[in-house]
Amino acid sequence: MKQEVEYNGMAFEPFISNAEIEERIDALAKTITKDYKDKRPLFLCVLTGAFPFASDLFRKCEDINAEIAFIRLKSYEGTATSGKVKEVLGLDADIEGRDVIVVEDIVDTGRTIAGLLDTLRARNAANVRVATLLFKPDALKIDFKPDYTGFEIPSRFIVGFGLDIDGQGRNLNDIYVLKNK
Ligand code: IMP
Ligand code: MG
């Protein structure tokens, strides 16, 4: 783990080590493997941030018969309306009647996941659950609780293990938090 990383002139310090992350993903995978024992879940990785988490979680669930698909969410901000409109792009998998496990990097205000859940339900998934690596309960603006959570964290800005600042920092193996000045 690095002592400090810097992006766009902002300094980040160590927050969650890769070993801790992998240990938690192991535990989540065990729970999911139990919960979906005789099912055939479709993991739905929300690009871009969730891809390292989804990759590890999916492979740690090797004892169940599972599939994976990907979607990318596009957000529109600063419009005249609420600024929370999200468009789901490129969901090509047929999810009708499927047990879907949405795999997210982080749930912050919860708006992204809320929009996505609406879309998935409209497409008649049999059951939709959410696995998120990180959850900021204090930032939540809607009524929502993830089914599988890696870490509950305070409302501070983090990077690493898929999470970015302006596209940078996703390839860090550990998670770092923005330093308080
Ligand atoms: P939401 O507020 O729950 O809709 O989250 C929107 C998106 O903001 C997430 O999918 C992340 O891409 C991003 N995000 C939220 N918190 C952080 C953070 O601490 N670091 C990096 N990205 C974040
Ligand atoms: Mg995201």
Ligand 1 interacting residues, C-beta cut-off 6 A: 49, 105-112, 157-158, 163-164
**Ligand 1: centre distance to CA 14 (Å):** 18
pLDDT for position 90: 72
Q: What ligand 1 atom has the least distance to the C-alpha of 105?
A: 10
| Closest C-alpha to ligand 1, atom 10 | 106
Q: What ligand 1 atom has the least distance to the C-alpha of 136?
A: 16
Ligand nearest to the CA of 170: 1
pLDDT for position 46: 95
pLDDT for position 76: 58
**Ligand 1: centre distance to CA 108 (Å):** 5
| Closest C-alpha to ligand 1, atom 19 | 157
Number of C-alpha atoms within 13 angstroms, CB side, residue 170? 13
Ligand nearest to the CA of 108: 1
H or E stretch covering 53: helix 51-60
Cβ-proximal residues to 125 (8 Å cutoff; 6+ apart), any chain: 95, 96, 97, 98, 99, 100
pLDDT for position 80: 42
For Cα atoms 52, 86, 29, give the angle at the middle one, nearest 5 degrees: 30
pLDDT for position 73: 82
**How many C-beta atoms surround the C-beta of residue 83 within 10 A?**
11
Give the total residue count for the chain.
181
- By annotation, the residues acting in catalysis are 108
pLDDT for position 79: 44
pLDDT for position 43: 98
**Ligand 1: centre distance to CA 30 (Å):** 26
Cβ-proximal residues to 161 (8 Å cutoff; 6+ apart), any chain: 16, 18, 21, 52, 53, 105, 133, 170, 172, 173, 174, 175
The answer to whether 135 and 108 have CB atoms below 8 angstroms apart is no
pLDDT for position 84: 53
Q: What ligand 1 atom has the least distance to the C-alpha of 114?
A: 4
pLDDT tens for the chain, 181 residues long, are 999 999 999 999 999 999 999 999 999 999 999 999 999 999 999 999 999 999 999 999 999 999 999 998 866 554 444 445 566 667 878 899 999 999 999 999 998 899 899 889 999 999 999 999 999 999 999 999 999 999 999 999 999 999 999 999 999 999 999 998 7
pLDDT for position 93: 83
| Closest C-alpha to ligand 1, atom 11 | 106
| Closest C-alpha to ligand 1, atom 15 | 108
**Ligand 1: centre distance to CA 107 (Å):** 6
